[in-house]
DNA sequence: AGGGTGTCCTGGAGGC
DNA sequence: TGCCTCCAGGACACCC
């Protein structure tokens, strides 16, 4: 599943590969994903040149030469590939963007949790204004600091795990990264966010950054062959210590790893190491 | 306004 | 073996 690190790597790879190319033709195969796909809207993109490819939160933003952009979100099963026409269309491929260089940007999403929209009201960052206004800070920038997390969490009563997964606070921290960073920081996912001490807030932001960076490094190997095969599962999965290990011994202390539901998401943690 | 719940979707896993 | 149920995930609408 494309998390922030994967989208980061995809954006970098696509930026090198498709900036400057024109969209010569568009095919939309499916009526809807999470939001409706309207072929007429997409048809208006034909002839447009791609001027940039960037990431914001978990969104991929393809900038066009008419001050619009294509906004993509991969949900949990979305895959984007750059391939030629010789590859047969897959069952769940929904959109083909034919590029002037001869390749096709192909968007696949079996579970239809993805988003592909065209936006025109862009902020100076190139991000749709309506989206930008709702998003919190990027986790890998200095804006996301222990001081920031500490100050915005005051008086908040919901569990710290839900809090760091809130996109209005900090973007791109999904269930896996939230689970792993809380273990690394020794903080129980159940703790009310407002009870974090300042040192704990520092520790948690540090661990979130560290784990995301490690995943980017591991994700690179996944993305390198994204043109050839489906590489959606990165090597990072093998390094997960808590996520998906309910009932097994904690790798640090040997206690049995517990699992609770928080915000509808399963949350594994070590009751001894995480307080 | 914060916080909780339900919804979207489908492939895969597990139970019977 | 085949059928059924449940679960996974991010974002957001909706409620209290």
Residue A34: which H helix or E strand, with range? none
pLDDT score for A2: 75
pLDDT of A227 reads 36
For chain A, list the domains and their CATH numbers.
4-132 (3.20.190.10), 146-269 (1.10.8.50)
Check: CB of residue A32 under 8 Å from CB of residue A26.
no
Q: What is the pLDDT of residues A226-255, one digit of tens each?
A: 333 333 445 566 678 998 888 889 999 999
pLDDT classification of A225: cutoffs 50, 70, 90: very low
What pairs with residue A61 in β-bridges? A54, A71
How do residues A57-94 score in pLDDT, each as one tens digit?
999 999 999 989 999 998 877 889 999 999 998 888 98
Residue range A206-210: mean pLDDT, rounded:
95
Percent of chain A with pLDDT over 90: 56
pLDDT at A25: 93
Q: Is A117 among the catalytic positions?
A: no
As a whole number, mean pLDDT of residues A11-18 equals: 92
> What confidence score (pLDDT) does residue A226 get?
39
Residue A25 in 3-state DSSP?
Answer: strand
**Helix A198-224, helix A146-153: angle, nearest 10:** 120
Tell me, rounded to whole angstroms, the distance of Cα A38 from its chain centroid. 24
Nucleotide nearest to A176 (CA to C1'): C9
> Exposed e or buried b for every residue in A127-152, given b needs 16+ CB within 10 A?
bbeebbeebbbbbbeeebbbebbbeb
Find out whether A204 and A191 touch, Cβ atoms under 8 Å.
Answer: no
Give A8's pLDDT tier (boundaries 50, 70, 90): confident
Q: Which nucleotide is nearest to A1 (CA to C1')?
A: C9
CA to C1' distance (Å), from A48 to B8: 32
| Residue A235, pLDDT score | 56
A20 CA, C2 C1': Å apart: 52
pLDDT value of position A29 = 84
* d(CA A193, C1' B6) / Å: 24
Q: Which residues contact A36 (CB under 8 A, 6 or more apart)?
A: none
CB burial string A248-267: b at 16+ within 10 A, e below: eebeeeeeebbeeebeeeeb
The chain-wide mean pLDDT, for chain A, equals 87
- Short-list A142, A186, A189, CA closest to A165: A189
What nucleotides of chain B have any atom within 7 angstroms of a protein Cβ?
A: 2-11
pLDDT digits (tens, 9 = 90+) for A102-147: 999 999 888 888 888 888 889 998 999 989 989 999 999 999 999 9
Dump pLDDT digits (tens) for A141-189. Answer: 999 999 999 999 999 999 999 999 999 999 999 898 899 999 999 999 9
What CA–CA distance (Å, rounded) separates A185 from A193? 14
Predicted pLDDT at A233 = 44
Q: Which residues contact A230 (CB under 8 A, 6 or more apart)?
A: A79
């Amino acid at each position: 599943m494309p998390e922030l690190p994967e989208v980061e790597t995809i954006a970098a790879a696509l930026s090198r590969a498709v900036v400057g190319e024109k969209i010569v033709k568009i095919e939309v195969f499916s009526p809807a994903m999470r939001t409706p796909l309207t072929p007429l809207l997409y048809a208006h993109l034909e002839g447009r040149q791609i001027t940039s490819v960037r990431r914001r939160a978990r969104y991929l933003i393809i900038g066009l030469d008419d001050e619009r952009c294509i906004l993509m979100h991969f949900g949990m099963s979305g895959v984007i590939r750059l391939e030629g026409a010789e590859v047969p269309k897959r069952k769940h491929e929904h959109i083909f963007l034919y590029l002037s260089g001869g390749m096709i940007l192909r968007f696949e999403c079996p579970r239809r949790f993805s988003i592909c929209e065209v936006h025109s009201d862009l902020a100076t960052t190139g991000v749709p204004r309506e989206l930008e206004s709702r998003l919190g800070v990027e986790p890998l920038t200095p804006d996301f600091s222990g001081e920031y997390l500490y100050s915005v969490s005051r008086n908040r009563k919901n569990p710290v795990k839900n809090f760091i997964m809130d996109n209005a606070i900090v973007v791109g921290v999904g269930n896996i990264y939230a689970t792993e960073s809380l273990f690394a920081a020794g903080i129980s996912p159940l703790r009310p966010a407002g009870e974090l001490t300042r040192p704990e807030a520092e520790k948690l932001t540090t661990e979130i950054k560290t784990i995301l960076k490690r995943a980017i490094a591991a994700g690179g190997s996944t993305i390198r062959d994204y043109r050839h095969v489906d590489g959606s599962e990165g090597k990072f999965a093998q390094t997960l210590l808590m996520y998906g290990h309910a009932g097994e011994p904690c790798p640090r202390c040997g206690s049995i790893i517990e699992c609770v539901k928080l915000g509808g998401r399963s949350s594994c943690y070590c009751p001894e190491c995480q307080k």
